[in-house]
């Protein structure tokens, strides 16, 4: 893990990897370098067998991330934008281990999209989600229109994308986009509790479960059911499956090894 990250902090809590977006003076705005550091740190955790779940959060308490860095972006050309950071978003999307967003304060624009890239979201009651790109004369570029339309439905997604309106953590939770709303400032603690529950499960089953749930957004129902069934059968080749079932029979806790 390079010590030389400029814009993120990387740490471990037992078998959970934590990445903190660390530009609090700019509300953790996502400049190109930050996004590429984030992708690199997450990819490193994804490869590390000691890490079983990841958490992304923002420094400073006021924001998860207030979007792409407008000051950096304002002078860019289409080619600069294409070459500058979007590869990293693809990398984040392809990560195999679960990622939890711990959101306090603003998650706007690319910050909202980053949270939506994650597998679960824990938010403080002061969290605000929104896609304000329209107020800058552009539109979401890292998945906002698609992910919000699929999760919130067309009409609410349209309102967010066409007006830039922010919505509260509770409203997001009411529509199924946030897993837990917690008292202000407790988002990281609660996200870590959730991450440790995930990290305690059999790692190969977790990986195949994430893949199967994500298939629901990419495939027809029949194809998705095929992926689920094949992943289910595949798990009968793991030592952890034998251990999980034996532990149930012997009325003890399983000791999963990731094999
Ligand atoms: N980019 C750069 N700097 C920012 C950003 C940002 N997105 N957001 C806040 N800052 C800076 C401010 O300029 C300010 O800096 P300074 O003190 O030097 O003036 C500092 O952070 C604090 O911000 P404010 O003084 O504005 O704080 P307020 O509490 O008054 O307001 C808001 C908070 C409402 C969050 C306000 O800062 C704001 O509206 N920010 C911009 C939000 C926004 O429009 N986000 C969308 C950006 S576009 C985008 O995300 C496209 C994504 C495409 C994919 C990603 C590709 C990499």
What confidence tens digit (pLDDT) does each residue in 167-204 have?
999 999 999 999 999 999 999 999 999 999 999 999 99
Residue 133 appears among annotated catalytic residues: yes
Residue 110 appears among annotated catalytic residues: yes
User: Which one is catalytic: 33, 37, 72, 113?
Assistant: 113
Cβ atoms of 152 and 112 closer than 8 Å: no
Cβ atoms of 51 and 134 closer than 8 Å: no
Q: Could you give the maximum distance between any two Cα atoms of the chain, in Å?
A: 64
Residues near 156 by beta carbon (within 8 Å), at least 6 away in sequence: 148, 175
Residues near 199 by beta carbon (within 8 Å), at least 6 away in sequence: 14, 15, 16, 52, 53
Cβ atoms of 235 and 259 closer than 8 Å: no
Residues near 205 by beta carbon (within 8 Å), at least 6 away in sequence: 235, 238, 240, 241
Strands 8-13 and 16-21: antiparallel
User: Which one is catalytic: 37, 133, 142, 157?
Assistant: 133
Q: Which of 39, 66, 138 to mutate to test the pocket of ligand 1 (most atoms within 8 A of CB)?
A: 66
Domains of the chain: 8-199 (3.90.226.10), 203-250 (1.10.12.10)
What local confidence, expressed as pLDDT, does residue 45 receive?
97
Percent of the chain with pLDDT over 70: 99
What local confidence, expressed as pLDDT, does residue 3 receive?
58
Residue 105 appears among annotated catalytic residues: no
Give me ligand 1 centre to Cα 30, in Å.
10
- The conformation of residue 225, written as its DSSP 8-state character, comes to H
What is the SS3 assignment for 168? strand
Beta bridge partners of 122: 102, 180
Cβ atoms of 201 and 243 closer than 8 Å: no
What local confidence, expressed as pLDDT, does residue 2 receive?
53
Instruction: Give the model confidence (pLDDT) of 87-116 as tens digits.
Output: 788 889 899 999 999 999 999 999 999 999
Instruction: Give the model confidence (pLDDT) of 120-170 as tens digits.
Output: 999 999 999 999 999 999 999 999 999 999 888 999 999 999 999 999 999
Residue 159 appears among annotated catalytic residues: no
Percent of the chain with pLDDT over 90: 90
């Amino acid at each position: 893990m390079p010590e030389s990250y400029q814009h993120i902090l990387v740490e471990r809590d037992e078998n959970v990897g934590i990445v903190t977006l660390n530009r609090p003076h700019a509300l953790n705005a996502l400049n190109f370098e930050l996004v590429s550091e984030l992708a690199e740190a997450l990819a490193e955790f994804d490869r590390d067998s000691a890490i079983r779940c990841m958490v992304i959060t923002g420094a400073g308490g006021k924001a998860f991330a207030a979007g792409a860095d407008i000051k950096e972006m304002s002078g860019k050309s289409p080619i600069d934008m294409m070459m500058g950071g979007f590869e990293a978003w693809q990398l984040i999307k392809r990560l195999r281990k679960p990622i939890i967003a711990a959101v306090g304060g603003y998650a706007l624009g690319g910050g909202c999209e980053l949270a939506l890239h994650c597998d679960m979201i824990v938010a403080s009651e002061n969290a605000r989600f929104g896609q304000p790109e329209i107020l800058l004369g552009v539109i979401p570029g890292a998945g906002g229109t698609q992910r919000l339309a699929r999760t919130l439905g067309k009409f609410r997604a349209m309102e967010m994308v066409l007006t830039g309106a922010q919505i509260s953590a509770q409203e997001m939770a009411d529509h199924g986009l946030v897993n837990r709303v917690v008292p202000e400032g407790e988002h990281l603690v609660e996200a870590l509790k959730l991450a440790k529950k995930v990290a305690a499960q059999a790692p190969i089953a977790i990986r195949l479960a994430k893949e199967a749930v994500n298939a629901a957004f990419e495939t027809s129902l029949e194809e998705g059911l095929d992926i689920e069934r094949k992943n289910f059968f595949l798990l009968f080749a793991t030592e952890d499956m034998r251990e999980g079932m034996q532990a149930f029979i012997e009325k003890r806790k399983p000791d999963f090894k990731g094999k």
